[in-house]
Amino acid sequence: MALTLQELNAASPAEALALLDGVYEHSPWIAEQALTERPFRSLAHLKHALASAVRNAPAEAQLALIRAHPELAGKAMVSKALTAESTHEQSTAGLTDCSPDEFARIQKLNQDYNARFGFPFIVAVRGPRGTGLSRSQIIETFARRLENHPDFERAEALRNIHRIAEIRLADKFDAHPKLGNDVWDWHESLARHSDPGYAEQGQLTVTYLTDAHRACAQRISHWMRDCGFDEVEVDAVGNVVGRYHGDTPGAKTLLTGSHYDTVRNGGKYDGRLGIFVPMACVRELHHAGKRLPFAIEVVGFAEEEGQRYKATFLGSGALIGHFNPAWLEQQDADGISMRACMEGAGLCIADIPKLQRDPARYLGFVEVHIEQGPVLNELDLPLGVVTSINGSLRYVGEFIGMACHAGTTPMDRRSDAAAGAAELLLYVERRAAQDGDSVGTVGVLQVPNGSINVVPGRCQFSLDLRAPNDAQRDALGTDVLGELAAIAARRGLQYRIEESMRAAAAPSAPVWQQRWERAVESLGVPVYRIPSGAGHDAMKLHEVMPQAMLFVRGENAGISHNPLESTTNDDMELAVQAFSHVLHQLAEASA
């Protein structure tokens, strides 16, 4: 019989401890501490209490927890001395059927890993979908993590332990994330479509209006129809638009969605999560035969990443009337103009102006997105509520000094352009950190025609500065430019600097941000507020209607624009529940 939360909440401390036996390997102290937080409001609440017990424990206790785990395919497995849970996991992952080569490889990795970190390698072998990683995936992960910094790897080991516990709990409570699994599977199916040149290498690349891109649009449209959307169409720029009608004709509409294009060799979840989460919610409504007092419009935006053409946010921009006709004459790397490419795809360019939405007919815009950063992962939190999409400032600049002989020019007679740029870089790092939530990056640093024996006469650099509001962004910019001038004066350098981009911050509409907060709170998960460092489609809609975003934790330190980008079926399930909760709140408010 599956365990229920009511049983766990009502049990005596000793009984409750016994009920959670085996969730964390040989470490009953974790459950013991977490149980002081009873009653649990949800499984997510219980998981968070368990993870917090580990997080707040002294380092030695954390290490003991890691060391309580068996080596992967190690002696304990071979001699059948594992706990029942570990035996099940290691054999499901096929580790008991390793080929002699695989077995030898794993033993070598075990040895190297232990020598480097002093604890056994731990990976949740049932993986982010709960159905199991393949042996080759496990070996790849093992080899990759061997390169991690020891502090990071220790935290990564603990995160894997929490994931193992999460899956063990799902088994105990027979609470498998059905919606999260479906959302996961949609991502997996969609990721089968990838542009030529990348597809062959197993990489995911979907750029504007390629065959793979159009196949994605086709897929999403079909799924939307299956989910019970009343109208589904591919619009004049290639956005896939699904509408689920409200209970009365002419009711206002909630707008949501995100992009389905990707960067080159990107991740499977960036953008797409924001299409599939609301899609799952609409399917639930449709199955229940339920209509809300407002309509829901889910848009899969065709272009956000600006990869094939320099037309970033083309998809969401079209909805606010920002399609730039000059883009049509742009050519891709093969010399194909955007106009030819759109005509070839059967898109009606003349209809693009008609895509502009009338904000008066909309309630607002919400977007679910994978975090694309390490914060939620590090804090063991599945969801984060976005406070603002950071405003940004970009510059390209150059220091100009005097190129001269590296051997004969005394140190006090130099005008070293690269040394000036280095000083500026360190200032940017210091100054951005001072704000707490600003970021500053020198991503390009170049000494043109540099040589090992020449003092750099020129040094080119870029500046990318971001902050949650425009005033903070501008203050950061002013300080950096001031320091640039001061460094040049001190070092006897000339400089030139050119602003290449200025994007306004998009703070979340407070009322909408609060809706996400209430939704997260209702799941029994602590509300965590976070600014978005990356740009999103919500930035465009922000210009005409209130918006707020929800972030979902990314695995692997939140890495994104990378094939390692991932989240889990359980986190996706929570995102669907949070979205449903927002729908429910809106329905109550308009009732």
- Interacting positions 132-171 with Zn ion (CB under 5 A): none
Q: Return the SS3 of 226.
A: helix
Cβ distance to Zn ion smaller for residue 186 or 495: 186
Cβ distance to Zn ion smaller for residue 270 or 570: 270
Q: Which stretch binds Zn ion (CB under 5 A): 214-222, 267-275, 383-391, 459-467?
A: 267-275
Burial grade of 211 (CB within 10 A; 0-12, 13-18, 19 or more): middle
Q: Minimum Å distance from CB 168 to Zn ion? A: 32
Q: Minimum Å distance from CB 220 to Zn ion? A: 15
Q: Minimum Å distance from CB 441 to Zn ion? A: 19
Q: Name the strand (E) or helix (H) holding 388.
A: strand 383-389
Q: Minimum Å distance from CB 372 to Zn ion? A: 7
Neighbours of 405 (CB within 10 A): 9
- Pairing of the two strands 458-467 and 391-400: antiparallel
Q: Minimum Å distance from CB 161 to Zn ion? A: 30
Cβ distance to Zn ion smaller for residue 119 or 186: 186
Cβ distance to Zn ion smaller for residue 259 or 431: 259
Q: By CB under 5 A, how many residues form the interface with Zn ion?
A: 2
Q: Which stretch binds Zn ion (CB under 5 A): 21-29, 110-118, 263-271, 417-425?
A: 263-271
Residue 373 is a binding residue for Zn ion (CB under 5 A)? no
Distance CA 410, CA 404 (A): 10
Q: Which stretch binds Zn ion (CB under 5 A): 15-23, 78-86, 269-277, 317-325?
A: 269-277
Helix 43-55 vs helix 150-173: crossing angle, to nearest 10: 150
Place of tokens 């790849």: 140
Residue 271 is a binding residue for Zn ion (CB under 5 A)? yes
Strand partners, 397: 461, 497
Q: Minimum Å distance from CB 426 to Zn ion? A: 31
Q: Minimum Å distance from CB 459 to Zn ion? A: 33
Helix 569-590 vs helix 510-522: crossing angle, to nearest 10: 120
Are the C-beta atoms of residues 440 and 463 closer than 8 Å to each other? Answer: yes
Cβ distance to Zn ion smaller for residue 25 or 270: 270
Cβ distance to Zn ion smaller for residue 263 or 544: 263
Q: Minimum Å distance from CB 376 to Zn ion? A: 16
Phi, psi of 319 (to 5 degrees): -75, -20
Q: Which stretch binds Zn ion (CB under 5 A): 204-212, 271-279, 358-366, 546-554?
A: 271-279
Place of tokens 């159905």: 131
Cβ distance to Zn ion smaller for residue 387 or 532: 532
Q: Minimum Å distance from CB 536 to Zn ion? A: 6
Q: Which stretch binds Zn ion (CB under 5 A): 36-44, 268-276, 444-452, 571-579?
A: 268-276
CA 542, distance to chain mean position in Å, is: 20
Distance CA 350, CA 353 (A): 7
- Interacting positions 421-440 with Zn ion (CB under 5 A): none
For residue 135, give Cα distances in angstroms to 92, 95, 413, 519: 10, 7, 61, 38
Strand partners, 382: none
Cβ distance to Zn ion smaller for residue 77 or 368: 368
Nearest-5° angle of CA 372, CA 374, CA 380? 115
Report the chain's C-alpha Rg in angstroms: 27
Neighbours of 337 (CB within 10 A): 15
Cβ distance to Zn ion smaller for residue 373 or 382: 373
Q: Which stretch binds Zn ion (CB under 5 A): 265-273, 442-450, 484-492, 520-528?
A: 265-273
Binding mask 206-245 for Zn ion (x = CB under 5 A): ----------------------------------------
Q: Can you read off the two tokens belonging to residue 25? A: 């390997």
Q: Which stretch binds Zn ion (CB under 5 A): 262-270, 425-433, 438-446, 582-590?
A: 262-270
Are the C-beta atoms of residues 253 and 296 closer than 8 Å to each other? Answer: yes
Cβ distance to Zn ion smaller for residue 128 or 271: 271
Q: Minimum Å distance from CB 354 to Zn ion? A: 26
Residue 31: which of 54, 61, 10 has the closest Cα?
Answer: 54
Cβ distance to Zn ion smaller for residue 371 or 416: 371
Cβ distance to Zn ion smaller for residue 184 or 301: 301
Among 270, 371, 380, 573, binds Zn ion (CB under 5 A): 270
Q: Minimum Å distance from CB 300 to Zn ion? A: 12
Please list the alpha-helical segments (H only) found in 12-74.
13-19, 28-34, 43-55, 59-67
Cβ distance to Zn ion smaller for residue 271 or 401: 271
Q: Minimum Å distance from CB 570 to Zn ion? A: 21
Residue 303 is a binding residue for Zn ion (CB under 5 A)? no
Helix 100-117 vs helix 150-173: crossing angle, to nearest 10: 120
Q: Minimum Å distance from CB 240 to Zn ion? A: 16
Place of tokens 């600014």: 531
Instruction: Report which DSSP code applies to 207.
Output: -
Please list the alpha-helical segments (H only) found in 240-298.
273-287
Are the C-beta atoms of residues 71 and 121 closer than 8 Å to each other? Answer: yes
Helix 178-190 vs helix 211-227: crossing angle, to nearest 10: 150
Binding stretches for Zn ion (CB under 5 A) = 270-271
